[in-house]
Amino acid sequence: MSNKYNSILVFILLMFSGNPSINFFVDTKWLLAFTAFFVFFNNLQHLRIETNRHLYFFLLFFCSIFSLQYLNLGFVSFLGALNFLLKITFGYVIFKKCGRRSRVIYFNVIYYIALISLFGFTLNCFGINMPIKIDDKMYSILIYNQNLTEIAHTGSRNSGMFWEPGAFAIYINLAFLLFAGNLKPILKKHMWRVGVLTTALITTFSTT
């Protein structure tokens, strides 16, 4: 499987997991249907119980949490719970498909997201809003979200394509964390990309 194809899958996973504006462009039910189709009909080899027991352990763990929530609160959104479990399975399958190159692919995808975010953040600093109004709190171009709540309370902060700056900071930090103990090759080979990621991280103004 080509790196470009795997990069697209990782990008879609990140869109599903942390981009609130995607629901403005695509109905949630269609997102859920696409995820289910991709996971259950196109990747059965990655879902065999005998070779993927840790995946099912995590799924059962979260099912237990949803059950406790229902017992204590009397309500659980079935669609929300199913969507959450499918996202976990979707992510697991994608990283299984990427194999050993999964951390490199993730690093490169986050780099492009960060690069785009710096352009969007710069425009925001000059008072230029993103063209698409998602709601009263957010403007977007899908691959970059402008969080008006953050601007009102703390000034301009870079949310990337995620729901808030702290979340974007976590995704960036994960790119570095995946290379923990082996950062020298990345610093030597991809100094520019490390610089872009570091700059984007600083512009989140997050302590996460």
Query: Identity (one letter) of the amino acid at 13?
Result: L
pLDDT for the residue 77: 76
pLDDT for the residue 81: 80
Mean of all residue pLDDT scores within the chain = 80
pLDDT for the residue 56: 81
Task: Using 50 as the pLDDT threshold, list the residues of the chain that sit under it.
Answer: none
Q: Is the pTM of this model over 0.85?
A: no
pLDDT for the residue 199: 92
pLDDT for the residue 157: 84
pLDDT for the residue 86: 78
